[in-house]
Chains A and B, each alone.
Chain A
Amino acid sequence: MEFNFLQSLPAIAPEIGLTVMAVVVLLLDVYLPESKRRNVGFVAGFGMLATAAAYFFLWAPTLETQGLYWGGNIRHDTLAEIFKIMVLIAGAITCFIGVDAKSLARRGEFFLIIIVSSLGATLMAGATDLIMVILALETTTIPLYVLAAFRRDDTRSAESGMKYFLFGSFASAILLYGISLLYGFTGHTNLYDIAAFLGTEAFSSNAVPVLISIALIITGFGFKISAVPFHFWTPDVYEGAPTPVTAFLSVASKAASFSLLVRFFLAVFPLGLVIDGLTISSFWIQTVAALAVISMTFGNLLALWQKNIKRLLAYSSIAQAGYILMGVAALSTESGTSVAAIGFYLFMYTFTNLLAFGVIVYFSEATGSENIRDLAGLSRRNPMLALAFTIALLSLAGIPPAAGFFGKFFLFQAAVEANLTWLAIIGVLNAIVALYYYLVVIKVMYVDHGDYEEMEIPVSRAGGAVLAVASLAVVLLGTILTTPFFEWAARGAEALFRIVQG
C-alpha cells in the first residue's frame, strides 16, 4: 500500500480540526480578558459545528475514497462519518449548554477537555487497529474522568470522578487483556489481518482462546456502554458529575463505543467464521442478546424507584443501551437493517439525551434541586422548558412524533428480521415499563403542585436557542427527516459490510 499523504488527510479531517481547536481554545482561555471569557464556549461550539460541516460537505467518504488509511489504522467510510458527526454535534451542544452553567464556573478548561474527549471519540469511530482502538478509547475516557471530578470542592463530583476513574480503568484493563490475548494468538494488530488469520487453517484447532478474548472484550465494552451487569458506576457518576458533563458522557462516549463494538465484532469475528466446528458469531450474538435482555429489564425496573432526575436518566440510559444491544444481537443477518437501526438510534439519542440533560442544567441551576418532585408545576413556571423536556422524555419512551418512536421501531424490525421475535417482545414490554416512569415525570411537570411554584426558571438566550434547536431536531427526525437519516445510516451499514480492499 503506497502512502499518499494528501489523500490520507480526509480520513482524519475531524481529528485535525479538533486538534487545532484545542490549541485555539487553550490560547483564548489564557489571553482573553475575564469579561470576554464566556465567548470561549461559543468558539468551541461553533468550531465543532464548523468542523462537522466541513467534514460532511468537503471530505466525506465516497465510494472511491472509502478504505483503510494511515497504515491500516483508520477506516474512512460512511459509518465512521455518521458517528464522527454525531460526536461533533454532541460536543457542540454540550459546549453551548455549558456556556452559562454556573456549575462549571465558566472555566475554559471545560471546553478544552470536551474537545480532546471528542477527538478520542471520533478516532474510535474509525479505528481498525488494536493499538488505535486502545489509544482512541483512552483519549476519550481519561478527559471524562477529569470532567466528572470537575467541581473539586463538591464531594459528590469528586466521588463521581473517582468512581468513574476506578471502574473505567478496570474496564480498560479487562478490554486490554482481551485484546492482548487476541494479539498473542494471532500476531496481528490490524482487525482485518486478525480476521484473516483466524479464518485460516493455522487457527482452526481450538476455539477456547477466541471465546475467552470475546468474553473479555464484551466485558470491557459492557462497562463503557453501561450494560447490566457492568453498570454499577453509571448512576453515581451521572448524579455526581456536573450536568453538562453527564450529558456529554451519556451520549458521545456511548455512541463511539457502540460504533467500535459493531465494527470490531463484524471485522474480527465475522458471521461466517467457524473455528473448531463452532460458529463464533453465534457465541457473541447470544451473549449480546442476553446482555440486552438484562440491561433493558434491570435498567427499567430500577429506574422506577428513582427520586433524582439524573439518576432516573442514568437508569434509563442503561435500559437504552439494552435496546441498542438488541440491534447488535440482530447483526446475525447480513441485511443492513440492524446497523442502520443502531446508527439511527444513536443519532436521535444524541439529540434526545442532550435535550433532556440540557433542561436539567437550567432547572437545577435555577432551583438548586435535582429531585423529580421539585419539577412540579414546571409547565406553569416555564411552559417552553416543560415542553422541551416532554419532547425529550417522549423520545426516550418511543412515542411519536418524537424520533424515539422510529428509533425503537427500527430496532424491533431488525430483531424480528433476525428471527429474534422473542427479543423484540421483551423489548416492547420493557418500553411499556419505561413509559411509566417517563410519564410520571411528565405528570409531575404538568399536574402536580409543589413548594417552589412561584420560582422563576430563567433560561439564557443561547440556552433557549440550543434547546429549541434540539427539540426541533428530535421532532423532525421523528417525522420528515427520518428517511434521509435512515438512508444515510443504511449507507453506513453497507460500507461496513463491504469487503475491505487493501
Chain B
Amino acid sequence: MEAIGFPVISLIIFIPIVAAVIILFIPREQGDLIKGIAITAAASVFALSLFVYLNYNARVDDISANQAALLSEAGRDSELLQLNLAVSSQSASVLAGQSMTGTQMFHDGLAFQERVEWLPALGISYHVGVDGLNAPMVLLTGMVAVAGVLVSWRITDRTREFMAFFLLLVAGVYGVFVAIDMFLLFFFYELAIFPMYLLIATWGWAQLREYAAMKLTLYILIGSVVALVGVIAMVLVAQNYFLNEGAAVFATAKDAGILPQSASELSFSMTQITLAAENGAFNVAGYAGVESLTFAKLWFPFIFIGFGVLAGVFPFHNWSPDGHVAAPTAVSMIHAGVLMKLGAYAALRSGVQLLPQGAEVHLPWIVFLTLVNVVYGAFIAFRQRDFKYVIGFSSVSHMGLVSMGFATMNLTGMTGAGLQMFSHGAMTALFFGCVGMVYDRAHTRDIPSLGGFIKIMPWVGFAFIVGGLTSMGMPGLSGFISEFPIFQGMWRASESVSLSLGPFNLSNYYSIMVIIAALGIIITAAYVLRVTSQVFFGDFDRQKYPDVDDITVRERFVLIFLGTPLVLLGTLPFIMAPMLETGLRPVLALLGGA
C-alpha cells in the first residue's frame, strides 16, 4: 500500500535531529536564527505528521473492511466487543494449528513502512511504520513540538542548548511511536531520556529541578531496562519457537508476505514476535523450571508496568508530579502531553500485543492500580496549593483512565483509552501552557494568592476553562468522547473478566470499579472548578502584580492550536475513533476476543 515516494517517517525523525546538530554549531549570540531553525523544524515535522495522519485516515475504511473480512473468515466477531477467555486461554501450550489472523491484521494495517537491516546478526532492523494506533500519537507529538518551541521563545539562558535538546527529545519521542522493531523502540526510548534530564535539570524550576530530574530519569530508566531484559528473553524464546515447533508457521507467514523473505528466526520485529505470541509460543508451561509458570505470565508485569512507570501507573507515579512541576513549560507540555502516552503506548504494544496471554492473567489485577491512579490522583490534585502540582496530579489521574481502558480488553474500552491518550495529551499541554503563561508574569503559582487573572489575560482564562471542561468530561469536548467509552468498556468487560486468587474468585467487580472511577470524575470537577474560580475569577490585585500584562499573539496561537483539537474531537469523534479501532483490532484479536 505504499504510494509515497519519499521516506516521510524517517524525515519526521531526522529533521529534528539534524536541526539540533545545526543549532549546536551556531554561535550562541544568534538567538533569532536558532529559534527560527527550531520552529521551522518543529513546524515541518508537524506538517509531515498531519500529512501522515490524514493520509492514513483516508485508508481507514478499506483497512476496516479488510479486518472485518479476516475476522469473519476466522470465525470471530468483527466488533471484538468482549474478551472471551474460553477461547483464549485454551491451554498452556503451543497451539496445534496455525493462527495468524491478528498478525495478518497488524501487518496489513501498517503504512509508511521503511525497513533497513541494521544488525542482521541479531535480528535488528531499522523498521518504522504507522498504524491506526500510533498515527494519532504522531500527530500529537507534532502539535506539542510546535507549541513547545513557541512557548519557549523567551528563554534566554543558553537558548541554543535548550532548543537543540528539545528537538532531540522530540526526535526520540517520535522514534518510539513509529518503531516497529522492538530494539528500535528501546533505542529511541533511551535516546529521549538524556535530553529530558538535562532540560529539566538545567532550565527547570530552581527549587526542585535537580531532585525531580534525577528522580524522573531513574524511575523511567529502571522500568525500561527491566523491560529490555524481558524483551531480549522474549525474542530468544520466539527464535527457539520458530526454529522448532513454529517452523511451519514461520514458512507460511513468509509465503503470505507477512514476514519478509529474508527474515531470520531471530528478530526484534514486532510482527514476528506477534506471530509467535499468537501461536502460543509464550504460553508454554514450565518456564524457568516452574510447572505452572509461562513466559507470558512471568514477564508481563515487568514489561507492562516497566513501561507503565512512564505512564504514571500507581505506585510508580511518584516521579511525575515533581517532574512536571520542576520542568520548564515546554518540557512539562511534552512530558505530560506526550511522554506519558509514550509509556502507555509502549506498555500496550510490548505488553498486551506481544504477551496477550500474560495480559489476560495480569490486567484483571492491574486494574486496581489504575483505579487508585484515577481516584487518588484526583484527591491529591484537589489538595494542592501549587497551580502546577494540580495539573501534575490531574495527569496521574487521567493517565489512570488510559491504563484502565487497556484493562477492559475490549474494543470499546481500548478505543476510549486511545482517544484519551490524544485528548489528554492536547489538554494537558494546554493546561501547562496556561500555567506557564500565568507563572511567567505573576512569578508565583500559589493558588490562594492568585486571583482575577481572567481580567488581564482573558485568553488564558478561556483556554483553561475549555481544558477544565474537557478534563471533567463535558459532552461536546474530547474528554467525554474518550472517558465515556472507557467506562462503557469497563461495564461491558465486567461479565467476562474474573480474577482468581487461590480459593477466591472475583467476578463482576469491573462494574464496581467503574462506579468508583466515575465518582473520581466528580473530584476532578471539584478541583478544576476550584482552581478556575481562585486563579481566574475574583478580584485582581494590581498592587500585588504590577507587571502582569496580557499574553502575546504567539502565545494566543499556542492556546488556539492546542485547544482546537479538543473541540474538534469532541464534536467529530469519527475523525479519530475508527482509525484507533483499526489499530486496536489486531491487539484484541490476539486477546481471543470473539
Contacts and interface: CB of A to CB of B under 8 A. Distances in A.
Contact of B158 (A379, A416, A421, A429): A379
Interface size class of A (residues with CB under 8 A): 35 or more
Nearest to B188: A400
Given A421-B229, A447-B202, A416 B121 contact: no
Interface stretch (B220-228, B278-286, B371-379, B507-515): B220-228
Contact of B225 (A383, A401, A428, A439): A428
Contacts of A421: 229, 233
Contacts of A442: 197-198
B557 interface: no
A380 B119 CA distance: 38
Contacts of B217: 435, 439
B210 interface: yes
Contacts of B225: 428-429, 431-432
A416 B230 CA distance: 9
B495 interface: no
B218 interface: yes
B121 A490 contact: yes
A416 B214 contact: no
A266 B276 CA distance: 35
Contacts of A490: 121
Contact of A436 (B118, B198, B214, B229): B214
Contacts of A409: 183, 228
A439 B222 contact: no
A110 interface: no
B50 interface: no
A125 B236 CA distance: 32
A432 B222 contact: yes
A483 B197 contact: no
Contacts of A482: 118-119
A284 interface: no
A429 B222 contact: yes
User: Which of B28, B191, B194, B210 is most buried by chain A, counting CB atoms within 10 A of its CB?
Assistant: B194
A446 interface: yes
B197 A412 contact: no
Contact of A443 (B122, B210, B226): B210
A17 B225 CA distance: 44
Given A394-B194, A431-B225, A432-B221, A486 B119 contact: yes
Contacts of B218: 432, 435-436
Contact of A387 (B24, B226, B229): B24
B214 A439 contact: yes
B190 A405 contact: yes
A438 B393 CA distance: 30
Interface string A414-458: 001100010011001101100110011011001100000000000
A413 B217 CA distance: 23
A175 B226 CA distance: 38
Contacts of A387: 24
Nearest to B221: A432
B122 A413 contact: yes
B193 interface: yes
Nearest to A482: B119
Interface string A150-186: 0000000000000000000000000000000000000
Contacts of B193: 399
A334 interface: no
Nearest to B165: A446
Contact of A425 (B28, B190, B229, B236): B229
A424 B228 CA distance: 10
A166 B183 CA distance: 46
A487 interface: yes
A435 B216 CA distance: 12
Interface string A390-420: 0000100011110001000110110011000
Given A405-B190, A442-B198, A416 B232 contact: yes
Contact of B229 (A337, A340, A380, A428): A428
A412 B236 CA distance: 12
B121 A428 contact: no
A413 B232 contact: yes
Contacts, number: 85
Contacts of A379: 158, 161
Contacts of A487: 121
A164 to B, nearest CB: 35
B194 A399 contact: yes
Contacts of A436: 214, 218
A490 B119 CA distance: 12
B187 interface: yes
Interface string B76-118: 0000000000000000000000000000000000000000001
Contacts of B151: none
B236 A416 contact: yes
Nearest to B189: A400
A438 to B, nearest CB: 10
Nearest to B198: A446
Interface string A362-381: 00000000000000000110
B222 A405 contact: no
Interface in B518-574: none
A490 B228 CA distance: 22
Contact of B190 (A399, A412, A416, A486): A399
B327 interface: no
A466 B200 CA distance: 31
A401 B236 contact: no
Given A429-B222, A490-B121, A405 B202 contact: no
A421 B298 CA distance: 13
Nearest to A435: B221
B399 interface: no
A429 B201 CA distance: 23
A487 B118 CA distance: 11
Interface in B172-204: 183, 187-188, 190-191, 193-194, 197-198, 201-202
Given A432-B222, A482-B118, A486-B121, A417 B236 contact: yes
A435 B201 CA distance: 15
Contacts of B188: 400
Contacts of B201: 443, 446-447
A425 B233 CA distance: 11
Given A400-B187, A413-B232, A431-B225, A439 B197 contact: yes
Given A400-B191, A401-B191, A442-B198, A483 B119 contact: yes
A412 B228 CA distance: 9
A32 to B, nearest CB: 38
Contacts of B210: 443, 447
A297 to B, nearest CB: 16
Contact of A428 (B122, B183, B228): B228
Contacts of A383: 28, 161
Given A399-B193, A413-B232, A416-B229, 20 more contacts: A379-B158, A383-B28, A387-B24, A394-B194, A401-B191, A412-B229, A413-B122, A416-B236, A428-B225, A428-B229, A429-B226, A432-B222, A436-B218, A439-B214, A443-B201, A446-B161, A446-B201, A483-B118, A486-B119, A486-B122
14 contacts: A379-B161, A380-B158, A387-B24, A394-B194, A399-B190, A399-B194, A400-B187, A401-B191, A409-B228, A416-B232, A421-B229, A429-B226, A443-B213, A483-B118
- Ordered nearest first, which 3 A-B pairs have the shortest CB separation? A428-B225, A416-B232, A400-B191
Interface of A: 337, 340, 379-380, 383, 387, 394, 398-401, 405, 409-410, 412-413, 416-417, 421, 424-425, 428-429, 431-432, 435-436, 439-440, 442-443, 446-447, 482-483, 486-487, 490
